[in-house]
């Protein structure tokens, strides 16, 4: 049995000036597997790890390992990010001489919305409750002093609820961010040689791609990965905010790509996650 691994790490460059960045910037020229799976150094990582058997010069039983998948670092203020759709995987045999593995993963930060809902809700409650209390108290004067008290309580509750909903909608509208994602490919030949690449990825953030130069047992925690590709996402930050939504090109997708493979739309004023065209990227197999 032989194990092979490649990985991409997506990270926010301090040059962006955003409230939350990866302070060390580029994760570096080399990493060990524990760096990839440890939830540090990045926003998220795509680890493509596979196993296969080679017997008499033929590849047999190609498969993804249990550790192959997405690893997420904490978002702003330590809040969790959220996966987008399902992880897409595909195995493409070329007879017994070679096999290609593809994997696509994505997630998106929900910190701005979560914080915005809380802050917006609190502000809305305060403003709504104050206004509601005044209105309720005014109505309550019809029934004298007891009516003022009862009317004030009713106005506070009703006004507070209305203010909370309004505050959440305003906060969400102002702060929703598109998904970030990467699509990787690894080909293994029967002689043990490999080729690998990043097929496509989101416009933002920055991304570093790693591969192995020599394979012994790439499932080991101290396996050394070497940097092969670096992508600077800083120039595309504003473009990503506007064009990271919607369905990405499904046929000739390559390099930094507008949209996303799940077709997630900008939620706009609607609270919650934006609608998706599909939970499984086109051309891939997905498991819940």
**Whole-angstrom Cα distance, residue 221 to residue 9?**
17
Which neighbouring-strand residues pair with 82? 108
Closest CA to 167 of 120, 114, 131, 112: 120
**Whole-angstrom Cα distance, residue 85 to residue 288?**
9
Given a contact cutoff of 8 angstroms between Cβ atoms, the answer to whether 252 and 60 are in contact is no
Q: For a pLDDT cut of 90, what percent of the chain falls above it?
A: 52
Q: Give the length of the chain.
A: 288
Per-residue pLDDT, averaged over 43-67, amounts to 94
- Which is more confidently placed, 255 or 175? 255
CA atoms within 13 A on the CB side of 175: 23
**Whole-number pLDDT of residue 140:** 53
**Whole-angstrom Cα distance, residue 74 to residue 44?**
9
Inform me whether the pLDDT recorded for 216 exceeds 80: no
**Whole-number pLDDT of residue 173:** 45
Most confident of 30-44, 149-163, 164-178: 30-44
Position 144 confidence tier, pLDDT thresholds 50, 70, 90: low
- Which is more confidently placed, 242 or 19? 242
Classify strands 194-202 and 255-257 as parallel, antiparallel or unpaired: parallel
8-12, 103-107, 156-160, 208-212 — which is least confidently predicted?
Answer: 156-160
Helix (H, G, I), strand (E, B) or coil at 176: coil
Position 147 confidence tier, pLDDT thresholds 50, 70, 90: low
**Whole-angstrom Cα distance, residue 208 to residue 63?**
25
Q: What is the pTM of this model?
A: 0.78
Inform me whether the pLDDT recorded for 12 exceeds 50: yes
Most confident of 98-102, 161-165, 277-281: 98-102
Place of tokens 């540090």: 40
Inform me whether the pLDDT recorded for 110 exceeds 90: no
Position 134 confidence tier, pLDDT thresholds 50, 70, 90: low
Q: Which two tokens stand for residue 42?
A: 């990045």
- Which is more confidently placed, 206 or 130? 206
**Whole-angstrom Cα distance, residue 257 to residue 261?**
10
């Amino acid at each position: 049995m032989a194990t092979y691994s490649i990985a991409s790490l997506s990270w926010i460059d301090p040059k962006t000036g955003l409230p939350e960045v990866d302070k060390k910037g580029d994760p570096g020229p080399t990493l060990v597997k524990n760096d990839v799976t440890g939830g540090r150094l990045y926003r998220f990582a795509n680890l493509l790890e596979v196993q296969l058997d080679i017997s008499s010069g033929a590849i047999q039983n190609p498969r993804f390992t249990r550790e192959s998948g997405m690893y997420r670092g904490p978002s702003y203020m330590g809040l969790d990010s959220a996966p987008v759709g399902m992880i897409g995987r595909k195995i493409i045999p070329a007879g017994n001489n070679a096999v290609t593995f593809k994997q696509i993963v994505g997630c998106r930060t929900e910190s701005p919305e979560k914080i915005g809902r809380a802050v917006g809700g609190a502000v809305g409650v305060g403003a709504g409750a104050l206004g509601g209390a005044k209105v309720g108290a005014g109505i309550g004067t019809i029934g004298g002093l007891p009516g003022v008290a009862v009317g004030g309580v009713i106005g506070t509750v009703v006004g507070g609820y209305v203010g909370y909903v309004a505050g959440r909608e305003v906060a969400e509208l102002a702060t929703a961010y598109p998904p970030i994602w990467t699509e990787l490919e690894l080909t293994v030949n029967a002689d043990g040689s490999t080729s690998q690449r990043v097929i496509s990825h989101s416009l933002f953030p920055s991304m570093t791609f790693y591969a192995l130069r020599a394979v012994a047992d790439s499932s080991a925690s101290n396996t050394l990965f070497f940097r092969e590709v670096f992508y600077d996402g800083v120039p595309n930050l504003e473009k990503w905010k506007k064009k990271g939504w919607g369905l990405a090109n499904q046929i000739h997708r390559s390099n930094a790509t507008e949209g996303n493979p799940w077709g997630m739309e900008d939620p706009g004023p609607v609270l919650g996650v934006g609608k998706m065209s599909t939970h499984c990227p086109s051309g891939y197999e997905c498991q819940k």
